[in-house]
Amino acid sequence: MRIVIAGGHGQIALRLERLLAARGDEVAGIIRKAEQADDLREAGAEPVVLDLESASVDEVADRLRGADAAVFAAGAGPGSGSARKETVDKAAAVLFADAAVKAGVRRLVVVSSMGADPRHEGDEIFDVYLRAKGEADAYVRGLNALDWTILRPGQLTDDAGTGLVRLEARTGRGPIPRDDVAAVLAELVDTAATAGLTLELISGPAPVSVAVKSVAGN
């Protein structure tokens, strides 16, 4: 498969790129800064320099054309203000989805956040973030031209992955190593039977492949 990842230099994305490249997939990561390119190459991914905050749908579609699947793993990051939650976590996600439609890439996996809700109230930066992610998720769900899956991890940690997770429509809150998020994404990308599902993810009792198979087609 050829898989294009938005936010290619993110902590989850770099882990995902290593996993996909190791299993023989062709991987490209969209990055904003050219100086991040070497990190992607080391992970086995082709760097694609493009700023999703200023790019057009056509420009993004050009980078997506020919891909078998796309993953949106971009984020403004914890140090950013409210404005970039809107331009990255919402607008860039919408742009990427529209570009996937235009490029004819049906399979889209979106990394969202537990608690994402377009009706979330509050004015703190995290409130804006959850609302922006929720609005982006709602937009993606409305695109019939995509076989989308939305993944909402719990509290992200840098602990070593265990390969054991809980993946359900509702899991309740809990931690999840970034290693395990990447492993679940790698499995979701080529499990088309999870299309149309919004899934929460925390650490749990099931091996990743078992957890994904158990929700597929539900």
Apex CA 149: angle with CA 32 and CA 68, to 5°? 65
Other beta carbons within 10 angstroms of residue 123's beta carbon come to 8
CA distance 65 to 5: 13
Taking the CA of residue 174 as centre, how many other CA atoms within 13 Å lie in the half-sphere pointing to its CB? 14
Stretch (H or E) spanning 198? strand 197-203
CB 75, CB 10: distance < 8 Å: yes
Token couple for 149: 């899956």
What are the phi and psi torsion angles at 81 (to 5°)? -90, -175
For the annotated catalytic residues, the residue numbers are 129
Which residue in 212, 145, 164 sits closest to 185, CA to CA? 212
Token couple for 16: 């995902």
Token couple for 217: 């087609």
